[in-house]
């Protein structure tokens, strides 16, 4: 075992948490060694703050291994007896089919969520589900996903404990598994995605042995069959909501797992999976998606998901677009309906712009008045832009709206393989123009029923044409009155 000190000490609140836990041991005479495990240790060694505190328990209670559930109830008693805010105890049940082999207890201490689980060793016979028994710190460290996540902080000694090669790998920026990668991945195939995420997050190189194991067909099979869509979605979302999305996707493709990560899934009315189909990106579609993400250069999950789906669904029938996006994002990745809905709005709004929109010549700074307005070559482009801006609005609770026309312009531009600076310039011009920036919330000067009465037209196609003509006028001329509209429509 190698030992090190944290480069910066625990925060005041973290020290309160650790003192509370030591107080629990002392008050109830518990012979239990407490270590913070995993992400918190890694992040603190890197100088980052973290609230991801998982406590690994080593010890016995009444002749049996101390469990997270038992220990958390001692903590709750301690909180109550010492006048501290008592916390609700939650339990995450073991689920071997999803590679969750031990029950975990969770509760709050000093306002921070803390997980408790005992150290363990996992032994495999013929089944892929291990025999789990109490383990030593070294055994527990070796069954973890990566060496940089297998470090412990002993709250009794104030030491970082390394039972693998985590300290050197963190220093040298290497992603490595404690055991041979095939063994680690068979235990939980999601760890393959975690290798990708942490390599991209911290700018690490991946151990060549992992790169070889990542191509293994059996690993691909168990990743597809054993890991839930929600767990895949959580890992993928974290990667796509970052500036390292490009490298993550490139690694997916090089490993051959992009068709496992991205699937079109259909559900029954009761929410059960009925069928899955890999999203079979052509080389051109995949490269186009990467080019779009690279050009837009955003850490927005919504935008990056749209970039991935847009080339694949380009040309899809309007009636099928919503359903297919939902199958890929909501059902396939367990992305929230809200985020998937944003992608739908952006793609639909982009279709409001004609195919040749970025080739059209128009000048937003050119102003029209009642006297100077005439049919001109830039009217169709200005009108299409305004229609898109009005469509690209997401309805939010309490009658609030979120305007998505900026995102739509970026997607439309890159989807059509136009330099993204064209879209960014247009966005700046719109934001600087008091007239155009109000387009998303622009109301018609005259409603349909008013036009019916004033123009003496029957309800039907004629009124629809009149409303469209009025909208076009409003896109060109500010401060129109009802008399102005009627005069233009009658003319």
Burial class (CB in 10 A: 0-12, 13-18, 19+), 49: exposed
pLDDT of residue 379: 74
431 Cβ contact list (under 8 Å, min separation 6): 437
| DSSP 8-state symbol, 204 | P
Regarding predicted confidence, which is higher, 318 or 37? 37
Q: Which of 318, 324, 308 lies closest to 350, judged by CA?
A: 318
Q: Among 5-19, 110-124, 151-165, 240-254, name the one with the lowest average pLDDT.
A: 110-124
- As a whole number, the mean pLDDT across the chain is 90
Take residue 239 and report the two structure tokens written for it. Answer: 């990667």
In whole angstroms, give the CA distance from residue 157 to residue 161.
10
pLDDT of residue 121: 84
d(CA 398, CA 49): 35
DSSP notation for 94-143: -BGGGTB-S-EEEEEETTEEEEEEE-EEEE-SSSSSPEEEE--HHHHHHT
pLDDT tens string 290-318: 999 999 999 999 999 999 999 999 988 88
Q: Is 175 helix (H, G, I), strand (E, B) or coil?
A: strand
Residue 355 per-residue DSSP state: T
- With beta carbons less than 8 A apart as the criterion, state whether 440 and 393 touch: yes
* pLDDT at position 376: 54
The encoded tokens of residue 312 equal 């694949």
Neighbours of 425 (CB within 10 A): 12
Residue 100 — pLDDT band, cuts 50, 70, 90?
A: very low
| Tokens of residue 271, six digits | 């929410």
What is the rounded CA–CA span in Å between residue 100 and residue 107? Answer: 19
Nearest to 42 by CA among 206, 204, 249: 204
User: For position 295, what pLDDT does the model report?
Assistant: 97
3-class DSSP state for residue 161?
strand
Determine which of 17-31, 174-188, 361-375 has the lowest per-residue pLDDT on average.
Answer: 361-375
Assign 99 a pLDDT band (cuts: 50, 70, 90): very low
Non-local (6+) Cβ contacts of 46 within 8 A are 170, 202
- Say which residue, 322 or 373, is predicted with more confidence: 322
Segment 49-71 shows an average pLDDT of 93
Under 8 Å between Cβ of 276 and 264:
yes
- Calculate mean pLDDT across residues 77-90: 90
Quote the CA–CA distance of 130 and 139 in Å, as a whole number.
14
Other beta carbons within 10 angstroms of residue 276's beta carbon come to: 15
Q: pTM for the full model? A: 0.87
Rounded to whole angstroms, the Cα distance separating 249 from 259 reads 11
Residues 260-290 have pLDDT tens digits of: 999 999 887 777 777 789 999 999 999 999 9
pLDDT in tens, 116-136: 999 988 765 544 566 777 889
| Assigned token pair, 225 | 């069959």
SS3 category, 353:
coil
- Asked if residue 239 lies in contact with residue 196, where contact means CB atoms within 8 angstroms, the answer is yes
**CA within 13 Å, CB half, 486:** 13
| Nearest CA among 139, 159, 41, 57 for reference residue 104 | 57
Q: What is the DSSP string of 373-435?
A: ----TTHHHHHHHHHHHHHSEEE-GGG-EEE-HHHHHHHHHHHTT--HHHHHHHHHHHHT-TT
Residue 218: which region, alpha, beta or left (left: phi > 0; alpha: psi -120 to 50)? Answer: alpha
Confidence of residue 383 (pLDDT cuts 50, 70, 90): confident
Model confidence over 393-451: pLDDT tens digits? 987 666 677 899 999 999 999 999 999 999 999 999 999 988 888 888 888 999 988 98
Segment 137-153 shows an average pLDDT of 96
Identify the residue whose tokens are 């003319």.
491
Tell whether the model's pLDDT for residue 378 goes beyond 50.
Answer: yes
Range with the poorest average pLDDT among 54-63, 147-156, 189-198, 457-466:
457-466
pLDDT attached to residue 346? 95
The 10 Å Cβ neighbour count of residue 375 is 8
């Amino acid at each position: 075992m190698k030992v090190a000190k944290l480069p910066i000490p625990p925060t005041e609140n973290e020290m309160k948490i650790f003192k509370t836990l030591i107080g629990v041991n002392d008050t109830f005479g518990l012979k239990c060694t407490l270590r913070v495990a995993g992400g918190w240790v890694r992040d603190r060694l890197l100088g980052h703050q973290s609230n991801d505190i998982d406590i690994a328990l080593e010890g016995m209670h009444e002749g049996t291994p101390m469990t997270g559930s038992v220990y958390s109830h001692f903590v709750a008693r301690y909180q109550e007896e010492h006048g501290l805010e008592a916390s609700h105890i939650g339990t995450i049940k073991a689920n071997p089919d999803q590679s969750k082999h031990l029950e975990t207890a969770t509760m709050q201490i000093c306002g921070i969520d803390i997980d408790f689980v005992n150290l363990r060793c996992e032994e495999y016979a013929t089944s892929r589900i291990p025999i789990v028994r109490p383990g030593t710190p070294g055994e527990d460290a070796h069954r973890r996903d990566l060496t940089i996540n297998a470090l412990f902080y002993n709250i009794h000694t104030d030491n970082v404990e390394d039972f693998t090669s985590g300290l050197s790998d963190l220093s040298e920026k290497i992603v490595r598994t404690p055991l041979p990668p095939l063994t680690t991945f068979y235990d939980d195939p999601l760890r393959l995605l975690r290798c990708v995420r942490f390599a991209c997050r911290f700018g690490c190189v991946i151990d060549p042995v992992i790169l070889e194991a990542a191509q293994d067909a059996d690993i691909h099979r168990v990743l597809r069959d054993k890991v839930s869509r929600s767990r895949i979605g959580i890992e993928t979302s974290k990667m796509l909501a970052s500036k390292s999305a490009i490298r993550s996707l490139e690694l997916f493709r090089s490993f051959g797992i992009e068709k496992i990560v991205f699937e079109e899934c259909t559900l029954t009315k009761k929410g059960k999976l009925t069928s899955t189909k890999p999203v079979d990106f052509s080389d051109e579609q995949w490269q186009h998606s990467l080019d779009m993400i690279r050009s837009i250069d955003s850490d927005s999950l919504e935008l990056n998901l749209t970039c991935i789906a847009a080339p694949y669904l380009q040309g899809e029938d309007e009636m099928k677009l919503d359903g297919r996006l939902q199958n890929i994002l909501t059902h396939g990745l367990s992305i929230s309906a809200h985020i998937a809905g944003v992608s739908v709005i952006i793609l639909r709004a982009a279709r409001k712009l004609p195919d040749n929109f970025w080739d059209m010549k128009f000048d937003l700074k050119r102003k029209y008045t009642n006297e100077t307005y005439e049919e001109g070559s830039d009217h169709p482009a200005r009108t299409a832009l305004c229609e898109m801006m009005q469509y690209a609005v997401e309805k939010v609770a309490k009658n609030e709206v979120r305007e998505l026309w900026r995102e739509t312009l970026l997607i439309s531009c890159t989807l059509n393989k136009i330099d993204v600076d064209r879209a960014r310039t247009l966005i700046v011009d719109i934001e600087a123009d008091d007239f155009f920036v109000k387009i998303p919330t622009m109301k018609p000067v005259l409603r349909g029923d008013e036009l019916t009465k004033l123009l003496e037209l029957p309800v039907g196609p004629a009124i629809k044409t009149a409303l469209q003509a009025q909208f076009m006028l409003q896109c060109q001329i500010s401060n129109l009155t009802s008399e102005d509209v009627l005069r233009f429509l009658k003319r």
